Structure 1
């Protein structure tokens, strides 16, 4: 986690800020759905998604692609 108030407080680290914005976008795209439902649709481990949302892990390109495809949303912005 990059800040005690993750993901609400911006990060001064550019990579950390990209991860924070990704987590916020992911949370918005998930909406009212259960993380378990999203993990099945994306063919990802539920724990992977939870760690991204909590700032405990940063997604790799394959994970980003699977989440964007399954949620039909652009989650990563540069």
Structure 2
């Protein structure tokens, strides 16, 4: 395993799949911990089960899972 000596040299992507988390805006909450999110290129269904998101919030999404609320 190749680990950089300086944390600043670490990649900003997921170590398991190489994807990055992207910011999206929550358009509408759905049942069962799901939401419709505006990606800027369209609307996608994502999971918000791990965060306390509200419509209008910007969240970071990785693999269709919101992992952090960035702005309210």
Task: Give TM-score, length-normalised by structure 2.
Answer: 0.25
Structure showing the higher helix proportion among its residues: 1
Larger Rg: 2
